[in-house]
Structure 1
Amino acid sequence: MAEKLLEIKNLHAEVDGKEILKGLDLEIKKGEVHVIMGPNGAGKSTLVNIIMGHPKYEVTEGTIVFEGEDITELKTDERARKGIFLSFQAPEEIPGITVESFLRGARSAITGKPLKIMAFKKELKEIMEQLKIDESYAQRYLNVGFSGGEKKKNEILQMMMLNPKLAILDETDSGLDIDAVKIVSNGVKEFKNEENAIVIITHNSKILEFLKADYVHVVQDGKIVKVGDSSLINEINEKGFANIAAV
């Protein structure tokens, strides 16, 4: 039986005094791919920000347990060091810090070990080639002047270089053309193994044409109202969220 990686119980959370999550439960095991879908304002992005420990979001009730440890009160950097990664819906531009410098610093912070520079550079070059990112981008400032597709591919580059235990991809396929979706999907498939897990937040099913989902969760009004296998995606596409029957 696969080992439990993340367990969320009765999660209530608010932003600026407004309750968004209203008793959400979620369990993720190693080796699994989970897809979370739902209409705008349902609480999907709130959920992933809560898992990552964004200080803007406040947990008012419930627990988040990662590898058997309650992390509900941990700071974002502490969660990252434990192996949780979030690919942002709208990645920030960071002038003055190159892609390579950012990744070197992030990996050192997570592993707590000195890097072997040549081995790191070789690995970075190989993964950039796989994602069809020109190697010159390693020396460009992080996301500065990048197109939307380049920013999303750079997020997948970060995921593959940092090798987290739980990777959360928030709207990674948003705004990508079909070729870019294929490249991103291939990167995600290359990353996935039996020791990690992936959570994909999406409004549409474009990326799911290339990735097999083990579980699909429908979020509405701050709760998961239905859980199914990948066939649930077709039901959503045909009927819409409003006509999906609750669990």
Structure 2
Amino acid sequence: MSTLEIKNLHVTVDTPEGVKEILKGVDLSISSGETHAIMGPNGSGKSTLAYSIAGHPKYTVTEGTITLDGADVLAMTVDERAKAGLFLAMQYPVEVPGVSVSNFLRTAKTAITGEAPKLRTWVKDVKVSMEALRMDPTFAERNVNEGFSGGEKKRHEILQMELLSPKMAILDETDSGLDVDALRIVSEGVNRVKDNTGLGIMLITHYTRILNYIKPDFVHVFVNGRVAEEGGPELADQLEAEGYDRFLVEA
């Protein structure tokens, strides 16, 4: 059983106009086996929360704490956070020319666990995961994200998540740019990993369509750098019907 605990998190970022506070006191707790949907309009701070947890140098934590199983996440380097069990599926995965998917995945697994996986077992695990995600076997020899479609990039992110076996996964707008078939396949992958490992999930999204496939246990409405309201799955249905106007007026 693992717990990601965020308390009174304040985060700033440098802009051409000066330092701007994006997160203004966020409290959030995610335990193993739970799916938390983070919803809100553009510019509300959802991605800032994701990247702050992962350790992106662009963002400065000025107040508050982030812990994973009691360990101080903010004191860890980015690679230490990954080794501790944090995983970020990026909204816009970057291209890595010259590095094949197969080499990238095995190198990442070795870095996370401290030893190279046994080749025969690893090849089997990769094959099974790729088949479940409807990925062509030749995909493994392509350069990471180079020339990938939106659906291929997102499936590759879920492939990484399944093979690296994190404790907590932050999925930053995984539904962005996906057609209906790709959305279903990616969602099935997320659900499979959660069911098999007890993964805790922070699912960041604007829209409720992915929540038709990945059922949240909790929904948090993010507005102006704060959690404006919290509830169960029914809150997502309310947002689908009413939008964010009420929260924006209150903010």
Per the alignment, residue 42 of structure 1 pairs with 44
Residue of structure 1 aligned with 2:6, choices 8, 13, 16: 8
Cα deviation digits, residues 195-233 of structure 1 (max 9, x gap)? 320110001112111111000000111110100111111
> 1:73 deviation in Å?
2.5
Aligned letter for 2:206?
Answer: H
> What code does the residue aligned with 1:195 have?
G
Matches within 5 A, 1:229-240: 229-240=232-243
Return the alpha-carbon distance in structure 1 between the equivalents of residues 75 and 245 of structure 2.
34
- How many residues of Structure 1 are paired with residues of Structure 2 in the alignment? 244
1:80-123 deviations in Å (ceiling 9; x for gaps):
01010000101111111000100000000000022201110111
Instruction: State the Cα distance separating 1:4 from its structure 2 match.
Output: 5.1
Q: Is the 8 A contact 1:88 1:170 kept in 2?
A: yes
- Of 160, 163, 174, 1:161 maps to 163
TM norm structure 2: 0.94
Structure 1: 4+ residue segments shifted above 6 A: none
Unaligned runs of 5+ in 1: none
Native 8 Å contact 2:2 2:167 kept in 1: no
Partners of 1:84 and 1:222 lie apart in 2 by 22
- The answer (yes or no) to whether the contact 1:181–1:206 under 8 Å persists in 2 is no
**Residues 12 and 24, structure 1, Cα contact 8 Å, conserved in 2:** yes
1:63 corresponds to: 65
Q: Distance in 2 between matches of 1:238 and 1:30?
A: 30
Percent of residue pairs bearing the same amino acid type? 52
2:224 aligns with 221
The answer to whether the 8 A contact 2:106-2:116 is kept is: no
Equivalent-residue separation in structure 2 for 1:153 and 1:195 (angstroms): 20
Equivalent runs, 1:178-217 vs 2, <5 Å? 178-193=180-195, 195-217=198-220
Partner SS state of residue 134, structure 2: coil
**Distance of 1:31 and 1:172 partners within structure 2:** 19
Residue 82 of structure 1, aligned match among 73, 81, 84: 84
**1:243 and 2:229 equivalent?**
no
Output the CA distance in 1 between the equivalents of 2:211 and 2:150: 19
| CA pair 144-59 structure 1, distance change in 2 beyond 3 A | same
Instruction: Give the counterpart letter for 2:182 in structure 1.
Output: A
Asked whether 1:119 is paired with 2:121, we answer yes
Task: Provide the rounded CA distance (Å) in 1 between the counterparts of 2:140 and 2:133.
Answer: 13
Distance 1:41 1:238, change over 3 A: same
Q: Deviations over 1:18-56 (max 9, x none)?
A: 100001100111110000000111000000001101111
Tell me if the contact between 2:109 and 2:116 (Cα under 8 Å) persists in the aligned partners.
Answer: no
Task: Provide the residue aligned with 2:151 in structure 1.
Answer: 149
* Alpha-carbon separation, structure 2, partners of 1:131 and 1:80: 23
In structure 1, what is the Cα distance between the partners aligned to 2:58 and 2:154? 23
**For structure 1, which segment, 65-74 or 31-40, has the greater mean C-alpha deviation from structure 2 after superposition?**
65-74
Look up the equivalent residue of 1:157 and give its one-letter code. L
Indicate which of 98, 103, 106 corresponds to 2:105: 103
Q: How far apart, in 1, do the equivalents of 2:127 and 2:188 lie?
A: 17
TM-score (norm 1): 0.96
SS of 2:127's equivalent in the other structure is helix
Q: Which has the higher helix share?
A: 2
